[in-house]
Structure 1
Amino acid sequence: MKNIVLIGMPGSGKSTVGLMLSQKLCMKFIDMDEHVEKMEHKTIKELFAISEECFRDAETRCAEELSKMDNCIISAGGGIIKRKENIDFLKQSSTIVFINRCVEDIVSDIDMSTRPLLKDGIKKVYDLYDERIKLYKSYCDIEILNDGYIQEAVNKIISSAEKHDKGKKGIC
C-alpha cells in the first residue's frame, strides 16, 4: 500500500492525526523528525545549532530513505516543503496530505519554546504560514482542514485518499 505523508505547519496536528490514522488503517507510523534524529544520532535542536541547512540536509536524506518504504503513515516536519526534492522523493511512493489549520488555533495550542523555528514568538508562526502556505497547497495531493475533532480529520483523510486513488485531487 502507498504511504500517506502528512505535511503542514508545526502544530497543525500531523503527529496526532498520523498516529490515529496509522492505528485505523493498520499502517506503521513514522515521525520524520524522530527518524532524522535516529539517522543522524543528533537531536533536531543539535542539528539546528550547527545550522538550519545542516538539519535540512539530514531531512532530505531522510525523505530519500523513507521514499523506499511502503505501508506507512509519515508525519513530516513542517519545513519539508522548503526543498522540492524532498517532495519529489516522497511522491514516488506516497500520497501527500496537507493538514491545514488556522494559525490562531496553532498559536493557542503549541509550546513554541520546543520548536526551533518558533522560539522567536507568535509573529514567527504567522510569518512561516505566509511563507509556506502556497508550497503546502501546491505540493499536496489532498488538503484537509483540521478545524474540529481529530477523528474528523482522520476520517477526511481516509475518504479523500480513497478518492485520490481513483484519480481525483481532494480538498475537504
Structure 2
Amino acid sequence: MKNLILIGMPGTGKSAVGKALAERLGYTFLDVDDVIRERTGKTLKELLLEMGVDEFVVLEGKIGESLDLHDTVIATGGSMVLSGGAMDHLRKNGVAVWLETPLREIEGRMPEDLWDRGIAAPRDMTIREIYRQRESMYAKYADVIVASQEGEDATACQVEQVMRTAGMSLRE
C-alpha cells in the first residue's frame, strides 16, 4: 500500500496530524526529523550549527532517499522539498499532501530564534521569507493540497476527505 507523505512549512502540524492520520488509517507513523536525530545522535539545532544549512539539506535529502517504507504516514521536515531526489523517491510509493497553513498562524507558532526549532534556513531569514522561498516547491511536489483545520484530528479527517473527493486511494 502507498505511503502518505506530509509536506509543508515548519509549524503546520505535520507530526501531530501524521500521528492522527496513521491511527485513523492503521498505518505506521514516521517523523523524518526523528530519523535524523537517531542516525546522527544530534539535535537538528546542533546539526545546523555544525554543518550549516546547505550540508544539513544534503543530509536530510540522503535520509529521505534511503527510506523504503509501506503503509506509513511520513512527516517530512519542512526543508525536505529542497531535495528533489528525496521527494521523487518518496513519491514513487506515496501520495504527497501539502498541509497548507496561513502564514500568520505559522508565525504565531514559531520561536523568535528559528534555529532553536531546527529550521533549515539562514539565521537572518524570517519565517515569511522562508515561506516565500519554499511555497513553489510545496506546490510542485504536492499531489494534494489540504488547508489545515483547527486541531490535528480535524486536519487528518480533512486529508482523508480531500483524497476521497479526488478519487485517490492509498490502497494499491
CA distance in structure 2 between the aligned counterparts of 1:112 and 1:94, rounded to whole angstroms? 34
Task: Summarize the Cα distance change of 1:155–1:38 in structure 2 as closer, same or farther, 3 Å threshold.
Answer: same
Alignment of 1:1-172 (within 5 A): 1-49=1-49, 50-66=51-67, 68-113=68-113, 114-117=116-119, 124-162=126-164, 163-165=166-168
Unaligned stretches of 5+ in structure 2? Answer: none
Q: Which amino acid aligns with 1:110?
A: M
Q: State the shift of 1:159 in Å.
A: 2.0
May I ask how many residue pairs the two structures share in their alignment?
Answer: 164
Supply the RMSD in Å over aligned alpha carbons.
2.0
**Contact map agreement 1:141 1:164 (CA 8 A) in 2:** no
The letter of the residue matching 1:108 is G
Instruction: Report Cα offsets for 1:53-103 as digits up to 9, x if no partner.
Output: 22112211211122x111111100001111211211111111000000011
In structure 2, what is the Cα distance between the partners aligned to 1:33 and 1:134?
Answer: 22
Aligned in 2, Cα 1:116/1:27: closer, same or farther, shift over 3 Å?
same
Change in Cα spacing, 1:51 to 1:109, as seen in structure 2 (3 Å) is: closer
Take 1:83 and 1:58, find their aligned partners in 2: how far apart are those partners? 10
Q: Bigger relative contact order, structure 1 or 2, given CA contacts below 8 A and separation 6+? A: 2
> CA separation of 1:33/1:164 partners in 2, compared to 1, >3 Å: closer, same or farther?
farther
Distance in 2 (CA, whole Å) between partners of 1:6 and 1:164 is 18
Q: List alignment gaps of at least 5 residues for structure 1.
A: 167-172
1:9-39 Cα distance to aligned partner (Å, 9 max, x none) = 0001111111111111111111101111112
User: Percent of pairs identical after alignment?
Assistant: 25
Counterpart residue type for residue 28 of structure 1: T
What CA deviation, in whole Å up to 9, does each residue of 1:90-130 have, x standing for no partner?
11111000000011111112334432337958x71100111
TM-score (structure 1 length as normaliser): 0.86
Conserved in 1, the CA contact under 8 Å of 2:8 and 2:138? yes
Secondary structure in 2 matching 1:12: coil
Q: CA deviation at 1:46?
A: 2.0
Do 1:47 and 1:54's aligned partners in 2 also have CA atoms closer than 8 Å? no
Q: State how far apart, in whole Å, the 1-side matches of 2:167 and 2:52 are.
A: 37
Contact 1:142 1:164 (8 Å CA) reproduced: no
Distance 2:92 2:63 in 1: 14
Amino acid at match of 1:148: E
